[in-house]
Structure 1
């Protein structure tokens, strides 16, 4: 195998190819069969060795695409509430401090919780038609 760049090592080239394939696979641009065919074309000796040891195919877990489903009366931690709102936990804390954020509950020992229904109301009330409605 000869690299197009003369100053790059074989290990660095291999690393770049593998990382690019992983990135394209995670972005759903390539499936497992395409990744395998590219690897076999680039690294025939290594893939011939690994073909004997291979046990099974990669499986995509359903956790990657599944979003947690909450009931309207569920009490969420600030971490989970921040994920629902697509905000950072720090931004949510700043909103709690300054006001203007979603309604929250302060329980014993400084425990903060958000009702899922309150988060839905906050999202619905935050809808704007244009930038002059702030």
Structure 2
């Protein structure tokens, strides 16, 4: 006669859930378990909760709850074109076009053909780009 043991009787359901998730997190952090495998284990162990999660819809009008992280750079930090474009709120392509036309911020071309921008040069570019009226263009 085989008996299936779900969990110890002195362990409540929320405690059991906590233990299972904690073990999965430890295995995932130790690179012994990938995310897809962890999700399949959770689906097998908690089918109702995982099914309920699928039915929920996220409204497109809601803003994401992710916080945007603002980085503080030192004046001598060398930024890649991606980071410099984020600082200037431009696309990388626009920054490349400005670099080609000679109208953008000062850049440094390294020996291996990589482009870098000094953060202090970006601040100067922003300060020099400030205008009081449209006749100053």
TM bin, normalised by shorter chain, reads 0.5 to 0.7
Q: CA deviation at 1:72?
A: 0.4
1:122 lines up with 2:118 in the alignment: no
In structure 1, stretches of 5+ residues that fail to align are 1-13, 27-59
**Over alpha carbons, which structure has the higher Rg?**
2
* Number of equivalent positions: 84
2:81 matched residue in structure 1: 78
In structure 2, stretches of 5+ residues that fail to align are 1-53
1:92 lines up with 2:95 in the alignment: yes
2:46 matched residue in structure 1: none
Q: Equivalent residue of 1:72, what SS?
A: coil
The Cα offsets for residues 58-110 of structure 1, whole Å up to 9 and x where unpaired, read as xx66xx23201100000000000000000000000001101110000001111
How many angstroms apart in 1 are the aligned matches of 2:77 and 2:98?
Answer: 21
- Bigger share in helix: 1
1:69 lines up with 2:72 in the alignment: yes
- Aligned pair partner of 2:57 in 18, 21, 40: 18
2:42 matched residue in structure 1: none
Q: CA RMSD in A?
A: 2.1
Poorly superposed stretches of 4+, deviation over 4 Å: none
Distance verdict in 2 for CA 1:123–1:23, change over 3 Å: same
